[in-house]
Amino acid sequence: MVDTYGDIDLTEEQLQICRLARRFAEEEVLPGAVRRDREEDHFDRAIVDRLGELGFLGMMIPEAWDGLGLGLDTYLMVLEEIARADASVAVSMSVHNSLPTQLLLRHGTDEQRDRWLRPMARGELLGAFSLSEAGSGSDAASLQAQARRDGDDWVLSGEKMWVTNGASADLVLLFVRTDTPEDRLGTHGIGAFVVPTHAPGYRAGKKERKLGLRGSETVAVHLEDVRLGPEHLLGEPGKGYRYALGALEGGRLGIAAQAVGIAGAALEHALAYAAEREQFGRPIKDFQGLRFKLARMGLRVEAARALLHRAARVYMKGETRQRMLSSMAKLEASEAAMQVTREAVQVLGGYGYTREYPVERLFRDAKVTEIYEGTSEVHQIIIAKELYSQRGTDQ
């Protein structure tokens, strides 16, 4: 792998962390990537536990809560390194770091942070995030799973879908309705709950058999009168939807980093193969048509990475353009991942279409980056709305 940090001004600490991530990815994550892809019904908790041992599950949590206290930019570089080796491992890391931990950090009480955030930062507890339902994907506000009050307790019932880490996680940050069927309050009737997966009534359904990210666990979750005390409610009972949208803006940057990692790996495999493969008495990299293809692939990777870190800087400063740039970064990176992996398969020809070479897996893994954390179509809507909003002409 080539050094990707030359154009980013890193501190010595950041550089050492990124190099550690690269060594870990190459020496421990990459060797098991093919096996995890093949054995899709098995979730490799051991590799996730290693992420915790290295501190990579608490990167953006302050040291006061047992995290590393690092910035978003460092986290995204580490995540890209992990995704280069195995995007399935990267998505488990991304979900844990950007969604449940950040929601607890922003909206939890000190008691909740002590109970759940500290062990999550240390890698002792793995977190998951559950917003979507069978009939509630892009339209997240239409979810139907219900929480009803019973004295001081809440009782949760319903079904959730597409929960990454949903069977193997230790707790799930889960969104359900807190209004009543007789008095729906729209986006103001949704609450966020910390749900331990060992709670009676919590049941993970079948694991989805997916095109890509086969080493990542994706399940449905069934809630059968899950009784939780009031300490499991995160923040206010009607503000869960707002909490979720705020967390997803940062989560999209994690998916963009994952996509850049996938694309970067595909580019490296294509470059190496083109330098070694000979046809008509010379390496195929010497043919102009192929050079044009490789040049465009390199351009897409660099452009996506640059936009990702531009968006990250804006996000860390809390500027008003953060929503638009987060969507732009996620859209560009995911589309770049699809183009670069598709072209990598083409560069390798028939070999690229077989499982003997990793570009086939990278191609399959890339597709979902255009779907989860907001589809490409949704992000185009967000970007256009934000562009008009900046002009003061959108209602």
Quick one: which of 133, 98, 141 has its CA closest to 255?
Answer: 98
Quick one: which of 24, 25, 94 has its CA closest to 265?
Answer: 25
User: Is 343 marked active-site?
Assistant: no
Q: Distance between CA atoms of 48 and 295, rounded to whole angstroms?
A: 35
**Type of residue found at 121:** A
Take residue 211 and report the two structure tokens written for it.
């095109």
| Residue 322, strand partner residues | none
Take residue 278 and report the two structure tokens written for it.
């000979």
| Residue 282, strand partner residues | 279
E-strand stretches of the chain: 127-130, 146-150, 153-164, 171-177, 190-196, 202-207, 218-228, 233-234, 278-279, 282-283
Contact 58, 120 (CB under 8 A): yes
CA angle 138, 139, 142 (to 5 degrees): 145
Q: Which of 80, 332, 373, 386 is catalytic?
A: 373
Return the exposure string of 176-193: e unless at least 16 CB atoms fall within 10 Å of the residue's CB, then b. Answer: bbbbeeeeeeeebbbbbb
Residue numbers annotated as active site: 373
